[in-house]
Chain A
């Protein structure tokens, strides 16, 4: 965990008092809605279909049990008793009252949580691998750099009014769990030939109506230079990014229009002129930030404790363990994913009671720490293997042990037309229906890894382009229709899915997905071949033929 010091706390409190003043001026009419809109967005407040929506940052997905309890309290006190975890390590509350927001923010600030820049045309919450610091084989803990960037991007005097939003993600693992290739800037920590730690810098990724996979702008930028290099990218973007058309304002369009080579030359020239600036990070500065991350005092534990051997006789426990428990870098420990995708539930939602209970379990079994992943699930990052059977029982009672992590019912979905003023179609009921269709865990297991992503409009908050199966809601003559793509992925081999055929009406979506999955089961050359690999091998055609033959 990163421990806030007096300076971090002071800044958050100063931001709360500024926002309190802004709300006061809006309520008194001193600020017009047009003026207030950008100010509230800069603090995570959207006006949705039914009410204000409030988005709170969970930087690089790390939460303490104390912080999670406070989120539960906020859900209960200011909302309707639940919260929604998003694809960018935020939590959203959907029913907040504007006049009460400053108090809610002040209560969050007490535990070091804020909503700064969770929306608006500025640098958003810096996200990272939810297994950062515990995954085996990491170059180093990417949260050190995430925190350095979090501080640097917070209330930045030059880049708080960019052409459009700007998202940064960091990974330090071979397998990219942070989806860095669909970010405005993606950073991959690695070591160069001299053993020096630095970053491969990618730029211009993003989804929405013009999706792009990020391109490498520089294969290696040393850690000490990362702030100045990021600043150079942002300075070029701030000056030359398009402001005439909101749909062409993201950096991906600038990179596309200039071409990555010309864009890279512009950035390099700016970077060269910046020279050795105050942004260069001394070793001691990096170590200062590193020193404020604390790690658990792990015990020396056996790889295979007796408790685990005994529990292995229970097939239900084994099914969950094989699905939801991942290796930890320390022997005797595991990373446990908590599925927020119960059969029939809205993906990514947690009730206040669940949040409180998870906080208690984190205290008991995970050194008080919880992680939030972009797949809209939570994780307990440091669970002793001997405790897994007990933890499983507790999670099962809470409805948090659905053994469907990475399976067909582990669906990523945006809030859609049930909440969002931008949406053309509903997302949540589609997800709920699909979880019912594939409710049989043995079937889901047999299908294997399969990511379904659902967005209720072209803005793509559900990342449908990069779902193994992507579902995009569109509106046709006042009715909800859905375009379906297959073969997308968001990891280190990120790519966009391909359209399988004409859009289908709401009532047929689940049938079509079932047909696609059946086609896959018939087409895969062996059980281990994942859905996405079968699509890669065969292309869209054989799927299209089977799905549309009878339609």
Chain B
């Protein structure tokens, strides 16, 4: 499954470590929330980076105390029709100020890339190769956005207000 990060297909530096399997001494790992919460301090003391896969039916509040020491948070889309992780993503980015990697995992398809990016995701474990190949092109699909989110894109309303100001300044 290709990983798209910073807009390109890239090598995944994180190793998925199953619950019960031994953690490597160093190197970046991606582990389940349950495993992480068993003993977060011990895991965070490891030499390598830590990423946590967070379920979409548990409030992100429990992860908040560790956010500044996590290198990645992966949020789940069990199917693309289940949109709970969009809210989790926005809360992590916009309310809790998380600025590490925010990864979408599960049934991640082309037609959700723009929504995911707007909600704060910057890494995508894409289900289909063709969709991963089409990432850059898909992200260019929209140039107008109505809602303000934490992604920094200027909304239609703001563009209109700017236009009004520049018009009235020119008069």
Contact = CB atoms under 8 A, between A and B. Distances in A.
Given A7-B160, A279-B148, A14 B83 contact: no
Contacts of A421: none
Contacts of A243: 82, 84
B111 A288 contact: no
Contacts, number: 92
Which of the listed residues A121, A157, A288 has the most CB atoms from chain B within 10 Å of its own CB? Answer: A157
Interface residues of A, number: 36
A14 B157 contact: no
A438 interface: no
A13 B82 CA distance: 27
Interface stretch (B11-19, B46-54, B137-145): B137-145
Interface stretch (B20-28, B34-42, B68-76, B112-120): B112-120
B149 A7 contact: no
Q: Which of B86, B90, B155, B159 is most buried by chain A, counting CB atoms within 10 A of its CB? A: B86
A157 B149 contact: yes
Contacts of B143: 10, 14
B81 interface: yes
A14 B130 CA distance: 21
Given A10-B143, A30-B130, A152-B147, A160 B157 contact: no
A359 B142 CA distance: 33
Given A161-B80, A161-B81, A156 B147 contact: yes
Interface string B71-104: 0000000001111101110100001000000000
- Interface size class, chain B: 35 or more
B109 interface: yes
A11 B95 contact: no
B87 A238 contact: yes
Interface in B121-171: 130, 141-149, 155-157, 159-161, 164
A401 B59 CA distance: 57
B146 A154 contact: yes
Interface string A146-182: 0000011011111111100000000000000000000
Contacts of A160: 83, 86, 115
Contact of A39 (B59, B83, B111, B147): B111
Given A11-B142, A288-B164, 12 more contacts: A5-B160, A10-B144, A11-B144, A14-B144, A39-B111, A121-B81, A157-B115, A161-B80, A235-B87, A238-B83, A238-B84, A285-B157
Interface pairs A-B: 8 shortest CB-CB: A161-B83, A157-B118, A278-B148, A11-B144, A151-B146, A158-B86, A157-B115, A7-B156
Interface of A: 5, 7-8, 10-11, 14, 17-18, 22, 30, 35, 38-39, 121, 151-152, 154-162, 235, 238-239, 243, 273, 277-279, 284-285, 288
Interface of B: 59, 80-84, 86-88, 90, 95, 109, 111-112, 114-116, 118-119, 130, 141-149, 155-157, 159-161, 164
